Structure 1
Amino acid sequence: MEKGASSKSGAVQYQAITGPDEEDKIFKSVSRDFFDMIVIDECHRGSAADDSAWREILEYFDNAVQLGLTATPKETKYVSSSTYFGEPVYTYSLKQGIEDGFLAPYKVVRIDIDKDIEGWTPPPGMTDDLGQAIEQREYNQKDMDRILVLNQRTKLVARRIMKYLNATDPFSKTIVFCEDVDHAERMRVALVNAAGQLALDNPKYIMRITGDSVEGKAELDNFIDPESKFPVIATTSELLATGVDTKTCKLIVLDKTIASMSSFKQIIGRGTRIDEENNKWFFTIMDFKKATELFRDPDFDGEAVVIYEPGDDDDPVPPDPVEDDPEPDDVEEPPGVYKVRVSGVDVNIIAERVEYIGPDGKLIMASYKDFSRKQIQKEFTSLDDFLNRWNSAAKKQALIDELEEHGIVLDNLATEIGKDYGDFDLICHIAWGQPALTRKERANKVKKRNYFTKYGEQARAVLTGLLDKYADEGIATLESAKVLRLDPFKTIGTPVEIINTIFGGKEKFESAIQELEQELFKKEESA
């Protein structure tokens, strides 16, 4: 028997069997040996505190095997994961998860803003937007959006986010982590303005999802649902940092000062999910606040270690979590906190650099094209070797997955070279200098040949549709049976009807796909 702290799979919730009064503690109405095993997810939270209501339950059922699960063990003056649960019996690093294909690799776009890096000192006698005198001192990156609000900075960040999305996919699920709720709302407004027509056409394209926003929280399920297109961009402070399964999130933006390693791990974890059905294999981190310096900390992706967080010493023991409560920091700034808000101060990006995770799990600062060329040439001895393996592969995606294990994410290359080029042309062009054709150019060449004449009318319609899908989306879509459930195929028949009736069975259908791929990637066209 397995019970835990979550009810997502029908398990018993802590809250359901206890309360502040003795009569609420219904867990005492059953035998101490009622459970054989208790699984505690996120065990670094309430369960780790000595005076937690949850600890009382665990101690009552101390005859059961108790298994604590956490990605971020915690050791503070008030909360200790190891004191109660002991040393970890099994650990699994992010690097290992990426190598095994369970977690998504990532790239980091680090962006420096002049007023953050160089600092900003107001001219003598300058007042803020409310006419209040501004303290004469130098404001730096840690002050931005906590003490000092430069409206032009917010707009600059929003424009840079939209520039990236428009250059890749403007419908990539995106989380923007801000300093607080006030910052999250200002960022939402700035993003709406930067998105322009996209936001005008779709009012829920950008939403603020924070603990105090009833409207935003109501859209949380839609944001994390792979089948729901909107919202696309969520601005938040802490609410989306933990416990939210955002499988299709492809962009995480950090405009938030993050000193806590456990918080950083939780935030990065929002992007590490892989969603094969929706072609989500990697994600991007855009960092405006140097938060990703924590990647260089040896504790980031080593063995699971206890993280001591000094700031927690000054904090009271937090209340036991209630399911619908916002995260502790995800609330409006307390009364009396005055932010200096200034319009009209010119703000500029002074540096950008892109880093990629390499096969050793460390970030690579060198040119990604140069890195990819070396890795591809290590994997394939020559262009002919690559062509032979590509053409003989029953599924091209398997070869692409193999390259990803060596740190080569072809979508990253497409961002640099051009998103209209397919995986085949990116590899041949980067590694061996071959002229590249776009996916559309390759598809059109196949359409002009007499290749289709041996098929019946309906089969030709299916193959033509698959070529169009390849031109729009790439090889992964061509090789996915899921594509037959989409337009234009669903007007021809069900996937079963297409495979069995039109093509004469699964084996013949797969053979037709392989032959179509051979036509797409003929050797003479790659030279």
Structure 2
Amino acid sequence: MSKNKLSERDICTKFITPAIQQAGWDIQTQIREEVSFTKGRIIVRGKMHARGEQKRADYILYYKSNIPIAIIEAKDNSHSVGAGMQQALNYAETLGVPFVFSSNGDAFLLHDRTGNATQTEQELALSEFPSPEELWQRYCDWKGLQSEQARTTVEMPYYDDGSGRAPRYYQANAINNTIEAVARGQQRILLVMATGVGKTYTAFQIIWRLWKSGTKKRILFLADRNILVDQTKNNDFKPFGPAMTKISKRQIDKSYEIYLSLYQAVTGNEEDKNIYKQFSPDFFDLIVIDECHRGSAAEDSAWREVLTYFNTATHIGLTATPKETKEVSSIHYFGDPVYSYSLKQGIEDGFLAPYKVVRIDIDKDLQGWRPHKGQVDKYGQVIEDRVYNQSDMDRYLVLEKRTELVAQKITEFLSATDPYAKTIVFCDDIDHAERMRQALVNLNPARVKENRKYVMRITGDEMEGKAELDNFINPEERYPVIATTSKLMTTGVDAQTCKLVVLDQHIKSMTEFKQIIGRGTRINEDYGKYWFTIMDFKKATELFADKDFDGEPVVIYEPKGDESPVPPDEVPEIILDENGNPIKQVKGAADENTSPDISIDDESDTKRIKYVLGDVTVYVVSERVQYYGPEGKLITESLKDYTRSTVRKDFATLDEFLRSWTSAERKAALIHELEQHGVLLEALAEEVGKDFDAFDLICHVAFDQPPLTRRERAEQVKKRNYFAKYGEQARQVLESLLEKYQDTGIENIEDIKILTLDPFKDMGTASELVSAFGGKPAYIAALQELEQHLYA
């Protein structure tokens, strides 16, 4: 067979792989073929979802098993040598790979992204493919890894537990970029990674490789919640075993190498401060700070004290939301991120769950409410005469019927979807969270009778509710189902199966908004969690339109004088109420189980006058559903309009679609391709009609053609009586295939395995039935003829 008749896979096997191996690359450890490095974006419409296309590289080459340094995109020989280059460059940018190759089996085209080559692109003969050592040397020059120690550090492999688990591509990028920065001597390092993408696992692999290489011998991991430290110690960090300990107020043992600690455990009052001062300032080589945008809210600024004390150590900050204000800057202290992985990118890659937004506007929120002269609330307080609007609701004015309406909309949504879907309701304060709990309990008597913990208030002031937090986030525990909260669950809550996030809270901080949205972004396929819904009652989701929501962090910090950089909480964040009064926060040292940014019982709440009214009627003014669109923006669009625009991107005209449909050897492949582009046919059938197959749904919705049901199409075929030319057994098979089409659609009858099922298995074995047509090619031809008659 001539070379230009070979398939792409044959070109790889016969020409590209041998050329790479001849250059000295090991097929077992250095060459990986057909590597899918994304999962495919989850596309949601209605109650349905589908996966988009995965990104797949033909070859990724590694010098060591953990460092990708080259990518090759292969094409068959009917293409030019460089035909795959643009696709390969796209992949290389994502993977952070410097050397990019395209090949059609005749030669290689090399694109050098390092900027160090005399020629960016050059063609190489098959025999001229570079060796691993040559590319590794060029890689090290590019990364500035000159010393032997630097290379030893970078070459240290990942921890491997034998399960086959390996870092995802973005985790590998984050780990490698961080370790390379350490190897070059960088002392302050920032990693920005969206909530739910595995920051702790990434931190573990960074620490493991630095520790195993001997580059860093004693390491401190700082977090600001007890649950986070314990989860880290018992899960991702477990391989450190006896080398690891958790610092407590009662134990200081300097014989360990890996230390985990709360800020609160080593800061606060003078006695607590003495704990970290029992270590010498140069004791730790490396400090990793989790959620580094926050830090302790104690007045003595815990970050500055701890990190300044251990200022000779390398400091690595991890956050999903770097804080950048005129007073506070993550980047001013840590430097520009060595790697960023955003929520938008995580959703695009299919590693994070997309969301749809149900925006509900209530009349009194939008139109306002004003008391009549001398009106008193249910407790006899004379209500201040002014217009109360959305910013006052639940903070200064409590309309009990509004709380009941919000609870009713939540209950209706869960009843229509999944009554046991884990739900977090974010309220303005603890009082609001308790009122919401009561309203939800009263609206769900049957569920609460099943288990009183169906609805729980989980706030920082009450032990019983806090004790249920672990059960709420545990996918295997059904209860609690609904958690009402204020601040306690905004961060550090790994709620993998949370399917509904309700926003009935005033949210003005972008950092807080991102953290709250992060409660729903985890995917858990084992429990059917692929996407989540945000139900917004207070316009919080307008922040999605803010350019800062998913943009790169920008430094706007204004240092005063010549002071040296300090961690972000040098100026403690002061949270103000609507009147500009500071809300008292709990000192970090008070309770190891309490996050320092949580107000146990806001002092201003007790001072703030709240008017409570039980007789003011409220109603929903508008309700709309918005979907996460392909560009990362929320779109308000009907399923039909979305389908029409998506199909017409692939097929500009009806004739173009008909040609593709007719020429497709398997209609199921074309249907799958459309679904990967976001056409959710199952959801469309729910809306248009379940009796239509994919062909008629698309022709009707995208091209305004009158549809035929599957039964109508089957009846038309029967009237033509073209089966008569076949023998009895073959005719019986075709008639049964037609019945199957009528019941279930075209995709099922195209799979030859259908011949092993009822009613076919009663007619004979699959091989016997195929033989009735004269063999498999004749059976396939008969099936294609049946399809031609169906869609004539």
Note whether the superposition's TM-score is higher than 0.5. Answer: yes
1:348 matched to 2:619? The reply is yes
Superimposed CA distance per residue, residues 5-41 of structure 1 (whole angstroms, 9 cap, x where no aligned partner): 1433325114455663368534444455544432211
Mean Cα deviation higher: 316-325 or 353-362: 316-325
CA distance in 2, matches of 1:187, 1:157: 8
1:325 matched to 2:576? The reply is no
CA distance in 2, matches of 1:242, 1:419: 43
Q: CA deviation at 1:122?
A: 1.8
8 Å CA contact 1:42, 1:69 repeated in 2:
yes
Superimposed CA distance per residue, residues 385-427 of structure 1 (whole angstroms, 9 cap, x where no aligned partner): 588677359x97x985x346xxx6789x579839999997997
1:220 matched to 2:469? The reply is yes
CA distance in 1, matches of 2:279, 2:451: 53
Q: CA deviation at 1:143?
A: 0.8
Q: CA deviation at 1:523?
A: 11
Aligned residue pair count? 453
Residue 3 of structure 1 corresponds to: 220
Superimposed CA distance per residue, residues 146-183 of structure 1 (whole angstroms, 9 cap, x where no aligned partner): 11111111111111111111111111111111111111
CA distance in 2, matches of 1:205, 1:426: 44
1:227 alignment partner AA: E
8 Å CA contact 2:292, 2:317 repeated in 1:
yes
8 Å CA contact 1:282, 1:409 repeated in 2:
no
SS at match of 1:204: helix
Q: How does 1:116-515 map to 2 (within 5 A)?
A: 116-305=365-554, 319-320=587-588, 322-325=591-594, 327-329=597-599, 331=601, 334-379=605-650, 382=657, 391-392=668-669, 402-403=676-677, 413=683, 417=687, 451-452=757-758
Superimposed CA distance per residue, residues 210-261 of structure 1 (whole angstroms, 9 cap, x where no aligned partner): 1112221111111111111111111111111111111111111111111111
CA distance in 2, matches of 1:232, 1:318: 28
Compared CA separation, residues 206 and 58, structure 1 to 2 (3 A):
same
Mean Cα deviation higher: 335-344 or 173-182: 335-344
8 Å CA contact 2:266, 2:272 repeated in 1:
no
CA distance in 2, matches of 1:167, 1:420: 19
Q: CA deviation at 1:57?
A: 2.8
Compared CA separation, residues 227 and 337, structure 1 to 2 (3 A):
same
8 Å CA contact 1:115, 1:140 repeated in 2:
yes
Compared CA separation, residues 323 and 179, structure 1 to 2 (3 A):
same
8 Å CA contact 1:48, 1:81 repeated in 2:
no
Percent identity, aligned pairs only, is 52
Residue 485 of structure 1 corresponds to: none
Q: CA deviation at 1:42?
A: 0.5
2:598 alignment partner AA: P
Mean Cα deviation higher: 351-360 or 80-89: 80-89
CA distance in 2, matches of 1:264, 1:389: 46
SS at match of 1:13: strand
SS at match of 2:341: coil
Mean Cα deviation higher: 189-198 or 365-374: 365-374
1:60 matched to 2:309? The reply is yes
CA distance in 2, matches of 1:346, 1:3: 56
CA distance in 1, matches of 2:437, 2:685: 25
CA distance in 2, matches of 1:122, 1:23: 52
CA distance in 1, matches of 2:546, 2:272: 48
Residue 195 of structure 2 corresponds to: none
Of residues 245, 260, 270, the one that matches 1:12 is 260
8 Å CA contact 1:91, 1:304 repeated in 2:
no
SS at match of 1:142: coil
Q: CA deviation at 1:82?
A: 2.8
Q: CA deviation at 1:119?
A: 0.7
CA distance in 2, matches of 1:525, 1:319: 73
Superimposed CA distance per residue, residues 101-129 of structure 1 (whole angstroms, 9 cap, x where no aligned partner): 11111111111111110111122332211
CA distance in 2, matches of 1:435, 1:79: 64
SS at match of 1:270: helix
SS at match of 2:453: coil
1:358 alignment partner AA: G
Superimposed CA distance per residue, residues 422-446 of structure 1 (whole angstroms, 9 cap, x where no aligned partner): 9979975865786789xxx968999
Q: CA deviation at 1:336?
A: 3.4
Q: CA deviation at 1:63?
A: 3.2
Compared CA separation, residues 228 and 454, structure 1 to 2 (3 A):
farther
8 Å CA contact 1:180, 1:329 repeated in 2:
no
8 Å CA contact 1:158, 1:191 repeated in 2:
yes
CA distance in 1, matches of 2:381, 2:628: 46
CA distance in 2, matches of 1:332, 1:416: 48
CA distance in 2, matches of 1:311, 1:383: 61
CA distance in 1, matches of 2:284, 2:493: 28
Uncovered stretches (5+) of structure 2, i.e. residues with no partner? 1-210, 212-218, 224-228, 234-258, 558-572, 711-741, 749-753, 763-782
Q: CA deviation at 1:186?
A: 0.7
Superimposed CA distance per residue, residues 454-510 of structure 1 (whole angstroms, 9 cap, x where no aligned partner): 789xxxxxxxxxxxxxxxxxxxxxxxxxxxxxxxxxxxxxxxxxxxxxxxxxxxxxx
8 Å CA contact 1:49, 1:78 repeated in 2:
no
SS at match of 2:401: helix
CA distance in 2, matches of 1:39, 1:59: 14
Residue 292 of structure 2 corresponds to: 43
Residue 344 of structure 2 corresponds to: 95
SS at match of 1:280: coil
Residue 508 of structure 1 corresponds to: none
Mean Cα deviation higher: 41-50 or 160-169: 41-50
Who wins on radius of gyration, i.e. which is larger?
2
Q: CA deviation at 1:303?
A: 0.9
Compared CA separation, residues 168 and 66, structure 1 to 2 (3 A):
same
Compared CA separation, residues 331 and 26, structure 1 to 2 (3 A):
closer
8 Å CA contact 1:180, 1:330 repeated in 2:
no
CA distance in 1, matches of 2:364, 2:356: 25
Q: CA deviation at 1:337?
A: 2.8
8 Å CA contact 1:48, 1:84 repeated in 2:
no
Uncovered stretches (5+) of structure 1, i.e. residues with no partner? 457-517
8 Å CA contact 1:19, 1:25 repeated in 2:
no
CA distance in 1, matches of 2:791, 2:501: 36
Q: CA deviation at 1:76?
A: 5.1
Higher relative contact order at CA 8 Å, sep ≥6: structure 1 or structure 2? 1
CA distance in 1, matches of 2:341, 2:471: 30
CA distance in 1, matches of 2:689, 2:382: 49
CA distance in 2, matches of 1:371, 1:320: 49
Residue 69 of structure 2 corresponds to: none
Q: CA deviation at 1:290?
A: 0.8
Mean Cα deviation higher: 23-32 or 261-270: 23-32
1:9 alignment partner AA: T
Q: How does 1:62-77 map to 2 (within 5 A)?
A: 62-75=311-324
1:190 alignment partner AA: A
Residue 355 of structure 2 corresponds to: 106
